[in-house]
Amino acid sequence: MNDLISLNREELRELFAGFSEPPFRADQLFQWIHRKNTWDFSAMTNLPLALRERLGAAYLVSTVRIERTLAAPDGTRKHAFRLADGEAVEAVFLPERKYFSLCVSSQAGCPLACVFCATGARGFRRHLSAAEILGQIYLLLKNAPPVDRLGNILFMGMGEPLLNPSELRRAISLLTDPQGLALSPRKIVVSTSGIIPELKALAAESRIRFAISLNAPNPELRKKLMPGVETKYPLPGLLQVLRDFPHNYPGRLMIEYVLIRGENDSGKCAAELEKSLRGIRARVNLIPHNPFPGSGLSSPENSRVLRFQEILKSQGRIVFIREPRGAEIQAACGQLAGTKKAESGEQGAKGEEPGAEG
């Protein structure tokens, strides 16, 4: 069966033209899927019954399903999603004081092999389609508390989003469509390790926000920690792109810096980082490393993290320390890895399974 969640309004109109249905019917279907988050054709009551039956016989909204949900004491929830071919990805619901954010994946695995990331340790499986990206988001929304409101969608889950640019663009376009979820581009944050051509292109055409995963103040150390990206897109070139960022960019860039004990957490690294960032309008998010099985790495002592922050702040830099969210369930930054691909007939491990898929 064909899923419809990744089709834009024009593509749905073309599909419905083949059914001899008027264009406004396609717009109605689009609104049911993207504004009302309804996946059951029989519930789309302003569509003719014959059309609903035709859609139900040959189409579905999405093939993504929630396989398992884990909850942390702070309210963070990690959802494991099973895809149609058996691959698995993870995404995270992050409650805030007045809203919630969703951290979603763009690839099954990741090819960049950053040493501090569980996704990279898993290796690369494949890109996700826009339908699979949206499937995560809409199922997370179905399971969000009704009293909360959506704050941000964070492409900070599994994978490097800018290595999957066409599907990322399609997902963003559908999320921001005024007849759908109508999300402001400023509420979409794409985290990237620095895929320079795609970063420049997307920044020029969109008003979304970016988080730059830097993690080292010089090319030598960055190549050790992030070999997959530093080899192809060296740090000096990335820093120049950030200095030349479009003047209409909404606010400051976010620089993400994972602090790893004994690797990149020294006062010398802090001073060198500030020097590297001169001329770049950005704030810094310090992220004490979140260990995962087999990483062999650890987080610095709190006093060392605070010292790193103070060195940057002394030069006028805005610096935050990111509190770990969901570390108890391996849902914190750098801990998402998914599970192995399901074999034919395999029943995946089940946890709490919200019945909200349609």
Q: What is the pLDDT of residues 25-46, one digit of tens each?
A: 999 999 999 999 999 999 999 9
Looking at the fold, whether 28 and 150 belong to one and the same domain comes out as no
Q: What is the pLDDT of residues 297-352, one digit of tens each?
A: 999 999 999 999 999 999 999 999 998 889 889 999 999 987 666 543 333 333 33
Looking at the fold, whether 39 and 124 belong to one and the same domain comes out as no
The last residue of a domain, from among 41, 60, 79:
60
Distance of CA 140 to the CA centre of its chain: 13
In contact, 106 and 90? CB cutoff 8 Å: no
Whole-number Cα distances in Å, 215 to 92, 163, 222, 300, 352:
22, 19, 7, 14, 35
Greater pLDDT, 327 or 268: 268
Looking at the fold, whether 141 and 195 belong to one and the same domain comes out as yes
Indicate whether 354 pLDDT > 90.
Answer: no
**Domain containing 6 — which CATH number?**
1.10.150.530
Which two three-digit tokens encode residue 259? Answer: 């602090």
Residue 336 covered by a domain:
no
Residue 343 covered by a domain:
no
In contact, 89 and 131? CB cutoff 8 Å: no
Indicate whether 71 pLDDT > 50.
Answer: yes
Segment 211-226 shows an average pLDDT of: 98
Residue 340 covered by a domain:
no
Looking at the fold, whether 261 and 192 belong to one and the same domain comes out as yes
- Torsion of the alpha carbons at 34, 36, 37 and 38, rounded to the nearest 10: -120
**Pairwise CA distance, residues 330 & 327, whole Å:** 5
Give me the pLDDT at residue 342, please: 55
**Pairwise CA distance, residues 347 & 353, whole Å:** 14
Residue 154 covered by a domain:
yes
The last residue of a domain, from among 11, 43, 60:
60
Task: Give me the number of domains the chain comprises.
Answer: 2
Indicate whether 292 pLDDT > 60.
Answer: yes
User: In the chain, pLDDT over 90 holds for what percent of residues?
Assistant: 86
Cβ-based neighbour number of residue 211 at 10 Å = 18
Residue 350 covered by a domain:
no
Looking at the fold, whether 308 and 207 belong to one and the same domain comes out as yes
Indicate whether 14 pLDDT > 60.
Answer: yes
The last residue of a domain, from among 43, 60, 77:
60
Q: Give me the phi and psi of 245, to 5 degrees please.
A: -60, 150
Looking at the fold, whether 106 and 187 belong to one and the same domain comes out as yes
Residue 151 covered by a domain:
yes
Tell which residue, 220, 281, 219, 279, has the closest CA to residue 250: 281
Indicate whether 146 pLDDT > 50.
Answer: yes
pLDDT bucket at 113, cuts 50 / 70 / 90:
very high
Can 117 be counted among the known catalytic residues?
no
**Pairwise CA distance, residues 342 & 231, whole Å:** 33
**Pairwise CA distance, residues 261 & 299, whole Å:** 5
Looking at the fold, whether 40 and 97 belong to one and the same domain comes out as no
Can 90 be counted among the known catalytic residues?
yes
**Pairwise CA distance, residues 284 & 332, whole Å:** 18
Segment 169-192 shows an average pLDDT of: 97
pTM, to two decimals: 0.92
What domain range includes position 24? 2-60
**Which of 90, 160, 167, 256 is the catalytic position?**
90
Looking at the fold, whether 116 and 257 belong to one and the same domain comes out as yes
Q: What is the pLDDT of residues 271-284, one digit of tens each?
A: 999 999 999 999 99
Helix pair angle (165-176, 130-142), 10° resolution: 40
Residue 341 covered by a domain:
no
pLDDT bucket at 141, cuts 50 / 70 / 90:
very high
In contact, 46 and 30? CB cutoff 8 Å: no
Looking at the fold, whether 297 and 252 belong to one and the same domain comes out as yes
Residue 289 covered by a domain:
yes
Bridge-partner residues for 88, per DSSP?
82
**Pairwise CA distance, residues 124 & 122, whole Å:** 7
**Domain containing 198 — which CATH number?**
3.20.20.70
Q: Where are the beta strands (DSSP E) in the chain?
A: 2-3, 59-60, 65-71, 77-82, 88-95, 100-103, 107-109, 124-127, 150-155, 188-192, 209-213, 253-259, 282-288, 319-321
In contact, 282 and 243? CB cutoff 8 Å: no
Give me the pLDDT at residue 358, please: 30
Looking at the fold, whether 301 and 259 belong to one and the same domain comes out as yes
Tell me the DSSP string of 24-66.
Answer: HHHHHHHHHHHTS----GGG-TTS-HHHHHHHHHHEES---EE
Which two three-digit tokens encode residue 215? Answer: 């993690």
Looking at the fold, whether 241 and 116 belong to one and the same domain comes out as yes
Report the amino acid identity of residue 197: P
- Both ends of the chain: CA-CA distance in Å? 16
Looking at the fold, whether 187 and 276 belong to one and the same domain comes out as yes
User: In the chain, pLDDT over 70 holds for what percent of residues?
Assistant: 94
In contact, 159 and 136? CB cutoff 8 Å: no
Indicate whether 126 pLDDT > 60.
Answer: yes
Indicate whether 285 pLDDT > 70.
Answer: yes
